[in-house]
Amino acid sequence: MVRVRFAPSPTGFLHIGGARTCLFNWLYAKAKKGKFILRIEDTDTKRSKKEYLDEILESIQWLGMQWDELYFQSQRLDIYKEFAQKLLKEKKAYLGENQAIIFKVPAKKIKIKDLIHGEIEFDTATIKDQVLIKADGTPTYNFACVVDDALLEITHIIRGDDHISNTPKQILLYEALGFNLPEFAHIPLILGKEGGRLSKRTGATSISEFRNLGYLPKALVNYLLLLSWSPGDNQELIDIEKAIALFDIKGVNKTPAIFDIDKLNWINSQYIKKESPEGLLEKILPFLIEKGYIQKENLDREYLLNVIKLFKERISTLKDFVYWADFFFKEEIIPEPEAKEKFLNKDLSKEFSLFLERLNKLEEFNPTTIEACFRQLVKELNMDARQLIHPIRVALTGKTIGPGLFEIIYYLGKEKVARRLKKWIKQNG
């Protein structure tokens, strides 16, 4: 049976690169009807923190991946010491300073057939003797990794390219301990759009931050899938079940993947469009509550659903909704400086007043009647509609773009519209 593992260290949050590695391991296990093992590499007690561990576990689950088995290296220290002692007794290791146990690296050539890169050859002459157990009694990364992977019967090690240099060191330990070798697959790194390693500016953001920014887990998983793998036929939107049926680690590209936030935003926008308004409402609620725009106990669901429908086709993230729709929830609207300068820089108090009068006289108040009333007014004033649409939009919303003005007026309601327009009438009166 195929057994793969993802082995994060709780010395930091789960980022895009780690999440992609986790996903490829999970996918491969699912595709091969195998087991996905999660191993927490927490032997560095000074840097390991519970907040990082909690974020890693929550992020993996939020992305829709569930492990079959969970292990903590900090609970397995005696096992590592036992195998280090075995190598000491067999004279394959020796005691160094402060009783550290060090492995004697034999001189030889090592060849592996990487499932992604093909054959790779190493010369151990370039590798110095390896510490197995440090002076403080904790194991080194390579040693604990080999012991765990062997005892947990990991069949395929799928990890980043940055671990290729560890592979010959680990193979030597597999051989010295008499363990069966797993197969190796090294995934290319993820680079920023301008090349180079990911930075905070180019996408090295934790998964929890993407969650807080309003990305949907299915959209983020879809995007991660496309970093070094393709389902074929130029598909960019793919359901996870379909991806499981198509995925093979041998199909992963050798070349580095490029993280493109614009592509992620587009994919996220497509998933938002596919969501039902009710589904979006549940996802958007926490953002609105956090902002203080609504209270859960005084929720007008029907009103919120209508507002969500106005923006559903226009937003890339859930947080976009909070920004673009804020004028529906705020009492005081402060126009963006450029919008104010461009569209509210002259006296339109007469036109605003006339429009308000027409609105108040409407027997039926809906987007159709509001538009008819507006069109009639600009015709009578011999104005281009745009000369009044943009200033009214900015006065009501503070923004220059958004949903249709007449839908905005309808859902804001006569009272709010009157209050906001009168503010500008008063300022110019």
pLDDT tens for residues 15-40? 999 999 999 999 999 999 999 999 99
Directed axis angle between helix 217-225 and helix 261-274, to 10°?
A: 130
Catalytic residue among 33, 46, 128, 200: 200
Tokens representing residue 393 in the block: 């939009």
Tokens 């290296």 belong to: 73
254: pLDDT confidence band, cut at 50, 70 and 90? Answer: very high
The answer, yes or no, to whether residue 161 has pLDDT greater than 60, is yes
201: pLDDT confidence band, cut at 50, 70 and 90? Answer: low
Asked whether the CA dihedral 266, 270, 273, 279 is positive or negative, the reply is: negative
The answer, yes or no, to whether residue 202 has pLDDT greater than 90, is no
Q: Give residue 204's identity as a one-letter amino acid code.
A: A
The answer, yes or no, to whether residue 336 has pLDDT greater than 90, is no
Nearest to 224 by CA among 65, 37, 333, 48: 65
Q: Give Cα separations from 255 to 6, 116, 189, 252, 336 (angstroms).
A: 22, 10, 8, 9, 44
What pLDDT, on a 0 to 100 scale, did the predictor assign at position 429?
Answer: 53
Contacts 24+ apart (CB under 8 A), 403-408: 403/310, 403/311, 403/314, 404/367, 405/374, 406/367, 406/368, 406/370, 406/371, 406/374, 407/310, 407/367, 408/310
Nearest to 132 by CA among 181, 91, 83: 83
Buried b / exposed e over 231-265, threshold 16 CB at 10 Å, is beeeeeebebeebeebbebeebeeebbbbbeeebb
Least confident of 34-38, 40-44, 191-195, 325-329: 191-195
Chain-centre distance of CA 402, in angstroms?
26
Tokens representing residue 350 in the block: 């007469």
Q: Is 402 left (phi over 0), alpha (psi -120 to 50) or beta?
A: left
269: pLDDT confidence band, cut at 50, 70 and 90? Answer: very high
Annotated catalytic residue 46: no
Which string of DSSP letters, residue by residue, matches 235-274?
--S--HHHHHHH--GGGS-SSPEE--HHHHHHHHHHHHHH
What does pLDDT average to over the chain? 94
The answer, yes or no, to whether residue 92 has pLDDT greater than 90, is yes
Task: Report the percentage of the chain scoring pLDDT > 90.
Answer: 86
CA distance 408 to 199: 40
- pLDDT, mean of residues 59-75: 98
- Strands in 223-379 per DSSP E: 257-258
* Tens digits of residue pLDDT in 6-15: 999 999 999 9
Q: Are 23 and 247 in contact (CB under 8 A)?
A: no
> Structure pTM?
0.93
CA torsion 174→179→180→181, rounded to 10°? Answer: -10
Tokens 């920023």 belong to: 192
Least confident of 22-31, 163-172, 178-187, 348-357: 348-357
What pLDDT, on a 0 to 100 scale, did the predictor assign at position 50?
Answer: 96
Nearest to 314 by CA among 265, 279, 371: 265
What pLDDT, on a 0 to 100 scale, did the predictor assign at position 205?
Answer: 83
3-class SS string, 165-217:
HHHHHHHHHHHHHCCCCCEEEEECCEECCCCCECCCCCCCCEHHHHHHCCCCH
Q: Give residue 332's identity as a one-letter amino acid code.
A: E
Domains parsed from the chain with CATH numbers: 3-72+189-263 (3.40.50.620), 76-187 (3.40.50.620), 275-328 (1.10.8), 337-428 (1.10.10.350)
| DSSP state for residue 9 in the 8-state scheme | -
CA distance 356 to 335: 20
Q: Give Cα separations from 98 to 74, 121, 131, 137, 261 (angstroms).
A: 21, 34, 12, 10, 49
- pLDDT, mean of residues 327-348: 89
Nearest to 118 by CA among 252, 27, 16: 252
Q: Who contacts 141 (Cβ-Cβ below 8 Å, separation ≥6)?
A: 41, 166
Q: Are 146 and 174 in contact (CB under 8 A)?
A: yes
